Amino acid sequence: MSGRTPLPGRPFGRVLTAMLSPFDTDGRLDPKVAQEVAAALVDGGNDGLVVNGTTGEAPTTTDREKELLVRAVVEAVGERATVVASVGTYDTAHSRELARQALRAGAHGLMAVTPYYSRPAQEGLVAHFTGVADACDLPVLLYDNPARAGVAIEVDTLLRLAEHPAIVAVKDAKGDFLAGARVMAETELAYYCGEDPLNLPWLSVGAVGFVSVIGHVVGDRLRALLDTFEAGDVVAARTVHFELLPVYRALGRVGGVAFVKTACGLRGLAVGAPRLPLVPADAAQRAAIAADLAWAGVRLD
């Protein structure tokens, strides 16, 4: 793995944020603001960033924009944080090319989501993820998100994929703790929670960290949650979890992209509006998000 040396058992770090993609007032990618966001996230407690994912609006950014974003983030924080480039698509050949592009741009790792819309069979998932992992010499984080992709990565499939030397971790947004526990017990795959309200429950069955959306505003609290749990103070970890309930509520009001762009705006950072078909929070939603964040003690400008 290029860049930072990974922690034992945590190939991509501990607290990662699925970073937004900032746009200017004309809707163009703004690499300079992306660097400001990346630096703020690392300063705020994150030791890893995932770029060009769902929260980064990957379905509506071009391949060239994806490359520019990876380069900008690596330049800004690559010596301080692990930069993981999401390369997942429903086209294996395209994902392989994005993987090679990410390597050239300086990414430290790759994330590959289950191919969406086409709903491939499990054998197709094995071929797809293997093809991505074979595309270049970077470690791979599998993203299991059946709600978006339409198909889950089954346990037996994960056990097979774990045999590939480059496939080292799973970002789970499936929420099947029994399945995840079995995979962790039978393989060396590291699990990262990919659904913020489940961060604490996933720690209880062996997850090593988070790939978060709310890390845009509470990265320090997520690190405290992880630190207290791993120190054996489950009561303190639960207290942090309860304190984050208003932030989870804010996230659920409008979805990840609109939430983070609203939250960043409320904190004085202009990151632009989402690209269609996503739409920004309306005035009432924005006021509700502001109230939720204030209730959780998040500083607003």
Residue holding tokens 């309306």?
A: 282
Active site residue 171: yes
Which residue in the list 32, 66, 90, 171 is annotated as catalytic? 171
Would you call 163 exposed, middle or buried from its count of C-beta atoms within 10 A (0-12, 13-18, 19+)?
exposed
User: Distance between CA 73 and CA 76 in Å, rounded?
Assistant: 5
Which one of the listed residues 143, 191, 192, 248 is annotated catalytic? 143
Distance spanning both ends of the chain, measured CA to CA: 39
Contact 99, 110 (CB under 8 A): yes
Q: H helices of 231-278, where?
A: 234-243, 245-254, 256-266
- Tell me the H-state helices in the chain: 31-43, 63-77, 92-105, 122-135, 146-149, 155-161, 177-186, 199-204, 215-230, 234-243, 245-254, 256-266, 283-295
- The residues assigned a catalytic role are 143, 171
